[in-house]
């Protein structure tokens, strides 16, 4: 609650990335209000590891690039700070180890069945999953998440982010 | 082996070099200094015998210098876009409002393998609904502008959220119209009457305000439509404050410039009058909307000029009939929309090209598959005997008089005769006989019997007043230009709510546009307007969204009269007209008669070379 008694509106961050052939990754963060209306958008220039990095990071490379490099940079630079960061890429969950806000993976329907073993919670129409090392996140988010309509489609904003990334690429602004 | 600190390095004593003297031997003095000077002048100091001594030096470290590699990455550059803060409005207070259910975390059972299929089916999310996305307009070039539109949520989500409550679910084509309007700086929404231009406009306004794209909006409409817009705003966007420009001059001046006003509603007449008073410093708006925008089709008119001079960032025009007479009329609308330079005269090809970009037009046939059908029947009636006598006499005398006028005959003379004859086809002024009245009475008996409601249109208020007496047993209500404004809304309300009010009689001029009378299932066109587009507007008061049953439209045509001849000419023109706005869309084109055609009705020839001048009354102004 704010000082004037009004409940503070929940700000969601939708963070995803696309991989470009031979160019690495570009990431985008769309900060919206609880109804999905955009408040701020950030995207990175392409981030490409060199061959030494590829060898040294091995299988942890994409989690490092997506979570620690791209994710942390986008959250750090955001003027409107999201209170909950949602992603549709599992590697981005790594971001949680580098920021203080909760990060949750929005499961696709196919993931949903595969990840049956792990604990799952619902938000809007989707199932979300938190970083296993930050189990307190669920209770932290639970209170504010009441603002999100039960029929909200939390996969949809990622489509917007991907479209925006493609549009930005086409425009040449990321060169 | 001892460590490097204790190790010594002995530098061996160098061997005394043998010096071969090439020059004279050094003298004594030189020998004292230990320096030999050769005859060649070379300083013999180089030849000085070094003093050798032993020193102990530490050994060089065997620790190899390592080159550390740290995984450093360059700082990642980002591109940022902050969305403008929109206006926040208090939600309307509704006692019966049921709050939307909100999400809470719910633990979900891990589906067992055996029950996976059944439970997964039970937990399946609701079926995906169609998503209408806002597209960046073609003229949006900067990446910021394009991203602004691309990142807006689908309208279905936006309008379903807690921020914007919609009283009814819009149709898919309406979502498209709203998204299109939202992204356009210049737009002509030309949907056929009855498809919900008002709702689409109001919703697009809501979104613009929410998205911080507009803060001050001016909406101009014909005077009789002011209550309609007020009502529609209340229905579709109750939270939006709408101020209507009215009252005396001082009050209006205050309203035009009052800060904090979000939506200003004014009629065309007041726009012209009040803007002139502002002179060089008219008030500014983020968005200006002209409803029934065909009112500015004449680019030289005061209305058109005044509308163009209002400073604004966005210009929208709404009309169901963007072209009433000639495709060139579009140019005036384009000029208002600021998509052609002032006084530009685009040709047909350019008009069509611009139409694709800046006009959105849908017809009922294409989008409203579910709208109940409209059944048109042309009712050819024999005149009553007294009517026939009166009609034949009037036509004969009239034609004789016209012939006698010779070269001095004008279109106006012919036109007056047409009007006189048309009036007789309605009823004989001497005897009151009327074939049309008899048919209306017969139909109304049935309609009233089953509690139906009908609308009757006529060109003449005198005819409507005459009919009111004749049809008194059906409690007819009157709605035409002579009815004071403050009485009009109650009349419409009574027609809607009073089960005994079965008939509403309206003039084309007052009742043809903007009204929502979709609870009426019958429409009578007691006499015919000159332009089927206007007739369609009238019919669409009833045949529009919300209509639950079919609408039966009866068009009266008196046999062997001027009405039949006019109808034939108009039908022929309808077939020949090449619509600018798309194949098969002939609902908006002008079929008004020109002078040659009017003369042709009486087998007269147009004089004075004015054969292409259009005659007829002005299109019904509200």
CA B82 to chain A, closest CA, distance in angstroms equals 4
Q: Assess if residue B41 is contained within a domain.
A: no
Domain ranges of chain A: 13-171
The residues, any chain, with a CB within 8 Å of residue B59's CB and separated by 6 or more, are B4, B7, B9
The CA–CA distances, whole Å, from B474 to B449, B504, B520 equal: 10, 10, 15
In a shared domain, residues B361 and B414: no
What single string gives the DSSP state of each residue in B479-505?
Answer: ESTTS-HHHHHHHHHHHHH-TT--EEE
Chain A residues in contact with B118 (beta carbon < 8 A): none
Same domain, yes or no: B380 and B349: no
Taking only residues 25 to 44 of chain A, the set having a beta carbon closer than 8 angstroms to any beta carbon of chain B reads 30, 32, 34-44
Q: What is residue B109's predicted lDDT score, i.e. its pLDDT?
A: 34
For B575-606, how does the pLDDT look when each residue is reduced to its tens digit (9 = 90+)? Answer: 654 344 544 444 444 455 666 677 777 766 54
CA gap B443, B457 in Å, rounded: 15
* pLDDT one-digit tens code per residue, B240-269: 999 999 999 999 999 999 988 999 999 999
Q: What average pLDDT is seen over chain A?
A: 86
List residues bridging with B374 in a β-sheet.
B551
Which of A135 and A48 is assigned the larger pLDDT? A48
Interface check A155 vs B, CB under 8 A: no
For residue A87, give how far its alpha carbon lies from the nearest alpha carbon of chain B (Å).
Answer: 16
In a domain, B40, yes or no: no
Q: Nearest CB to A149: which of B151, B154, B162?
A: B162
How many residues does the structure list for chain B?
622
Q: CB contact, 8 Å: A157 with chain B?
A: yes
Numbers of helices and strands, H then E, in chain B? 22, 14
Give residue-wise pLDDT tens across range A40-50.
Answer: 999 999 998 88
Residues B233 and B279 in one domain: yes
pLDDT at A122: 86
For residues B245 and B130, give the distance between their C-alpha atoms in angstroms, rounded to a whole number. 40
- Looking at beta carbons, which residues of chain A come within 8 Å of B75? 73
pLDDT at B615 over 60: no
The answer on pLDDT for B489 being more than 90 is no
Query: Could you tell me if B475 and B408 lie in one domain?
Result: yes
Whether residue B379 lies inside any domain: the answer is yes
Residue B617 lies in a domain: no
Tell me the pLDDT band of B129, cut-offs 50, 70 and 90.
low
Rounded CA gap, B146 and A169, in Å?
12
Contact A171 B143 (CB under 8 A): yes
pLDDT, residue A125, reads: 87
Does the beta-carbon distance from A141 to B126 stay under 8 Å?
no
Please indicate whether residue A158 or residue B322 has the higher confidence score (pLDDT).
A158
- Which of A70, A117, A148 minimises the CB distance to B102? A148
Task: Say yes or no for a CB contact (<8 Å) between A121 and B125.
Answer: no
Residues 6+ apart with CB under 8 A from B102: A146, A147, A148, A149, A150
Per residue in B493-512, pLDDT (tens digit) is 899 899 889 999 999 888 76
Q: Is the pLDDT of residue B538 over 80?
A: yes
Shared domain check, B360 and B411: no
Confidence of residue B316 (pLDDT cuts 50, 70, 90): very high
Show which residues on chain B lie within 8 Å of chain A, measured between beta carbons.
69, 71, 73, 75-83, 86, 100-108, 110-111, 116, 120, 125-126, 131, 143, 146-147, 150-154, 157-158, 160-163, 210-211
Task: Tell me the chain A residues in contact with residue B125 when contact means C-beta distances shorter than 8 Å.
Answer: 109, 125-126, 153
CB–CB of B78 and A127 under 8 A? no
Average pLDDT of chain B, as a whole number: 79
Query: Looking at the predicted structure, is the pLDDT value of residue A34 above 70?
Result: yes
Mean pLDDT of B162-179: 82
Min mean pLDDT across B48-57, B107-116, B375-384 is at: B107-116
**Length of chain A in terms of residues written:** 175
Query: By the 8 A CB rule, do B259 and B191 touch?
Result: no
3-state SS string for B95-133:
CCCCCCCECCCCECCCCCCCCHHHHHHHHCCCCCCCCCC
Q: Give the residue from B70, B78, B87, B165 with the most A CB atoms within 10 Å of its CB, the best one to mutate.
A: B78
**pLDDT band at residue B162 under the 50/70/90 scheme:** low
Query: What residues in B contact A122, CB-CB < 8 Å?
Result: 103, 105-106, 108
Report the percentage of chain B scoring pLDDT > 70: 75
Q: What is the pLDDT of residue B619?
A: 45
Note the pLDDT of residue A7: 56
Q: Which of B338, B367, B396 is the C-terminal boundary of a domain? A: B367
- Interface check A152 vs B, CB under 8 A: yes
Q: Are residues B335 and B291 in the same domain?
A: yes
Q: Residues of A numbered 84-143 whose beta carbons fall under 8 angstroms of chain B's beta carbons: which are they?
A: 109, 113, 116-117, 119-127, 138, 141-142
Residues B182 and B262 in one domain: yes
Chain B closest-CA separation from residue A127 CA (Å): 9
The residue ranking higher by pLDDT, B371 or B144, is: B144
Token pair in block for residue B480: 């035409």
Q: What is the pLDDT of residue A32?
A: 94
Residues B304 and B406 in one domain: no
Q: How many domains does chain B have?
A: 2
Please report the pLDDT score of residue B128 as a whole number. 54
Question: Which residues in chain A are contacts of B74 at CB distance < 8 A?
Answer: none
Using CB atoms, pick whichever of A150, A161, A171 lies closest to residue B102.
A150
When pLDDT is averaged across residues B467-471 and rounded to a whole number, the result is 93
pLDDT per residue over B69-86, tens digit each?
Answer: 776 777 889 989 999 887
A41–B83: do the CB atoms touch at under 8 Å?
Answer: yes
Pick the closest to residue B573 from B619, B614, B540, B541 (CA basis). Answer: B614
Best probe of the B interface among A164, A165, A173, A174, by most B CBs < 10 A, is A164
Residue B519 lies in domain: 374-577+585-601
CATH number at residue B205: 3.40.50.10810
- Do the domain assignments include residue B100? no
CB B523 within 8 A of CB B538: yes
Which residues does chain A have within 8 Å of residue B131's beta carbon, measured at their own beta carbons? 156
Nearest to A103 by CA among A94, A111, A112: A94
Q: Is residue B119 part of a domain?
A: no
Structure tokens at A57: 């990071």
Stated pTM of the model: 0.65
Residue B92 included in any domain? no
Give B146 to chain A, closest Cα distance, Å. Answer: 8
B457 and B314 in a common domain:
no
Is B76 in contact with A45 (Cβ distance < 8 A)? yes
Q: Does A83 touch chain B (CB under 8 A)?
A: no
Q: At what angle do helices B411-426 and B385-404 cross, to 10 degrees?
A: 170
Q: List the strands of the sheet with B312-318, edge to edge.
A: B242-244, B263-267, B217-221, B285-291, B312-318, B186-189, B359-360
Closest CA of chain B from A37, distance in Å: 6
Give every CB contact of residue B295 below 8 A, 6+ residues apart in sequence: B222, B268, B303, B621
Stretch B440-445: mean pLDDT, rounded?
Answer: 90
Kindly determine whether residue A141 and residue B105, on different chains, have CB atoms separated by under 8 Å: yes
> How many interchain CB pairs under 8 A, A with B?
149
Of B346, B367, B388, the position where a domain reaches its end is B367
Same domain, residue pair B362 and B421: no
Higher pLDDT, B16 or B538: B538
Sign of CA dihedral B31, B35, B38, B39: negative
Q: How confident is the model at residue B7 (pLDDT cuts 50, 70, 90)?
A: very low
Region A50-61: mean pLDDT is 86
Query: Taking the mean position of all CA atoms in its chain, how far away is CA B415?
Result: 38
Asked if B76 and A141 come within 8 Å (Cβ–Cβ), the reply is: no
Kindly determine whether residue A160 and residue B150, on different chains, have CB atoms separated by under 8 Å.
yes
pLDDT at B36: 64
- B211–A116 CB contact, under 8 Å: no
More confident residue, A81 or B570: A81
* CA distance to B112, B380, B455, per residue, from B410 (Å): 91, 31, 36
Regarding whether B332 and B281 lie in a shared domain, the answer is: yes
* B-chain residues near A116 (CB < 8 A): 110-111
CB B146 within 8 A of CB A167: yes
Q: Minimal Cα–Cα distance from B90 to chain A, Å?
A: 12
pLDDT at A10 over 70: yes
- Is residue B175 a contact partner of residue B203, using CB atoms and an 8 Å limit? no
B113: closest CA of chain A, how far (Å) = 9
For residue B18, pLDDT over 70 is answered with: no
Interchain CB distance below 8 Å, A32 and B150: no
Residue A80: pLDDT over 90: yes
Give the pLDDT mean for A27-51.
Answer: 92
> For an interface test with A, which of B103, B132, B150 has the most A Cβ atoms less than 10 Å from its Cβ?
B103
> For B209-236, what is the mean pLDDT?
90
Q: Is the pLDDT of residue B1 over 60?
A: no
> According to the model, what pLDDT value does residue B352 have?
85
Contacts of A43 in chain B (CB under 8 A): 78-79
Q: Please tell me the least confidently modeled range out of A94-98, B228-232, B587-591.
A: B587-591
Contact A30 B151 (CB under 8 A): yes
Q: Are residues B241 and B353 in the same domain?
A: yes
Most A-contacting residue of B157, B160, B210, B212 (CB-CB within 10 A), to test interface? B157
- pLDDT given for residue B404 in this prediction: 78
The predicted-structure confidence for B363-396, as pLDDT tens digits, reads as follows: 876 776 667 778 888 888 899 999 999 999 999 8
Contacts (Cβ under 8 Å, ≥6 apart) of B87 = B209, B210, B212, B215, B262
């Amino acid at each position: 609650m704010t000082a004037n008694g009004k409940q503070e509106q929940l700000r969601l961050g939708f963070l995803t990335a696309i991989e470009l052939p031979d160019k690495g990754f570009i990431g985008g963060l769309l900060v919206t209000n609880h109804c999905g209306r955009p408040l701020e958008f950030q995207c990175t220039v392409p981030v490409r590891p060199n061959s030494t990095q590829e060898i040294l990071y091995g299988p942890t490379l994409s989690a490092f690039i997506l979570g620690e490099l791209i994710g942390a940079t986008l959250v750090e630079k955001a003027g409107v700070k999201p209170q909950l960061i949602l992603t549709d890429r599992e590697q981005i969950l790594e971001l949680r180890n580098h920021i203080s806000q909760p990060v949750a993976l929005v499961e696709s329907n196919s993931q949903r069945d595969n990840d049956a073993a792990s604990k799952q919670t619902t938000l809007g129409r989707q199932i979300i999953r938190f970083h296993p090392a930050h189990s307190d996140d669920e209770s932290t988010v639970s209170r504010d998440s009441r603002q999100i309509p039960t029929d909200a489609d939390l996969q949809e904003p990622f489509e917007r982010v991907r479209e925006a990334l493609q549009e930005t690429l086409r425009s040449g602004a990321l060169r | 082996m001892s460590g490097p600190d204790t190790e010594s390095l002995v530098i061996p004593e160098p061997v005394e070099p043998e010096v071969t003297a090439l020059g004279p031997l050094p003298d004594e003095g030189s020998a004292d200094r230990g320096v030999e000077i050769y005859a060649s002048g070379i300083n013999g100091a180089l030849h000085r015998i070094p003093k050798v001594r032993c020193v102990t030096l530490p050994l060089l470290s065997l620790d190899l210098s390592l080159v550390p590699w740290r995984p450093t990455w360059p700082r990642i550059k980002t591109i940022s876009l902050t969305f403008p803060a929109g206006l926040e409005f208090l939600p309307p207070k509704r006692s019966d409002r049921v709050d939307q259910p909100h999400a809470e975390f719910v633990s979900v059972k891990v589906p067992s393998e055996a029950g996976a299929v059944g439970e997964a089916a039970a937990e399946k999310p609701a079926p995906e609904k169609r998503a209408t996305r806002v597209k960046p307009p073609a003229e949006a070039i900067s990446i910021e502008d394009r991203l602004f539109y691309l990142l807006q949520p689908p309208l279905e989500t936006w309008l379903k959220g807690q921020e914007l409550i919609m009283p009814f679910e819009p149709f898919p084509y309406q979502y498209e119209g709203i998204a299109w309007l939202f992204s356009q700086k210049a737009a002509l929404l030309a949907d056929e009457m009855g498809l919900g231009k008002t709702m689409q406009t109001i919703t697009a306004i809501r979104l613009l305000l929410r998205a911080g794209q507009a803060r001050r909006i001016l909406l101009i409409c014909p005077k009789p439509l002011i209550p309609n817009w007020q009502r529609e705003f209340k229905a579709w966007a109750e939270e939006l404050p709408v101020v209507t420009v009215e009252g005396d001059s001082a009050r209006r001046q205050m309203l035009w410039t009052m800060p904090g006003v979000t939506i200003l509603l004014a009629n065309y007449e007041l726009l012209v009058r009040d803007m002139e008073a502002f002179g060089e410093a008219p008030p500014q708006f983020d968005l200006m909307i002209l409803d029934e925008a065909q009112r500015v089709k004449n680019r030289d008119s005061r209305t058109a000029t005044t509308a163009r001079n209002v400073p604004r960032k966005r210009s929208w025009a709404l009309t169901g009939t963007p072209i009433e007479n000639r495709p060139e009329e579009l140019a005036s609308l384009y000029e208002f929309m600021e998509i052609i330079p002032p006084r530009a005269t685009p040709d047909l090809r350019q008009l069509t090209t611009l139409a694709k970009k800046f006009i959105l037009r849908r017809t009922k046939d294409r989008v409203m598959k579910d709208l109940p059908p409209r059944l048109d029947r042309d009712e050819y009636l024999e005149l009553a005997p007294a009517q026939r006598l009166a009609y034949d006499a009037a036509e004969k005398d009239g034609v004789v008089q016209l012939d006698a006028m010779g070269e001095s005959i004008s279109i106006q003379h012919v036109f007056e005769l047409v009007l006189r004859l048309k009036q007789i086809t309605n009823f004989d002024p001497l005897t009151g006989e009327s074939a049309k009245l008899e048919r209306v009475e017969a139909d109304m008996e049935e309609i009233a019997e089953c509690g139906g409601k009908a609308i009757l249109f006529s060109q003449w208020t005198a005819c409507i007043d005459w009919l009111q007496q004749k049809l008194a047993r059906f409690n007819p209500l009157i709605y035409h230009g002579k009815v004071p404004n403050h009485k009009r809304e109650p009349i419409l309300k009574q027609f809607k709510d009073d089960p005994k009010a079965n008939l509403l009689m309206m003039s084309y001029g007052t009742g043809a546009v903007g009204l929502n009378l979709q609870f009426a299932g019958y429409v009578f066109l007691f006499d015919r307007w000159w332009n089927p587009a206007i007739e369609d507007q009238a019919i669409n008061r009833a045949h529009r969204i919300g209509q639950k049953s079919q609408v039966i439209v009866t068009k009266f045509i008196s046999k062997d009269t001027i009405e039949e001849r006019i109808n034939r000419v108009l039908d022929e023109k309808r077939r020949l007209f090449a619509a600018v706005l798309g194949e098969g869309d002939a609902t908006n084109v002008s079929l008004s008669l020109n002078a040659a055609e009017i003369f042709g009705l009486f087998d007269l020839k147009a004089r004075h070379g004015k054969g292409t001048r259009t005659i007829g009354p002005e299109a019904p102004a509200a």
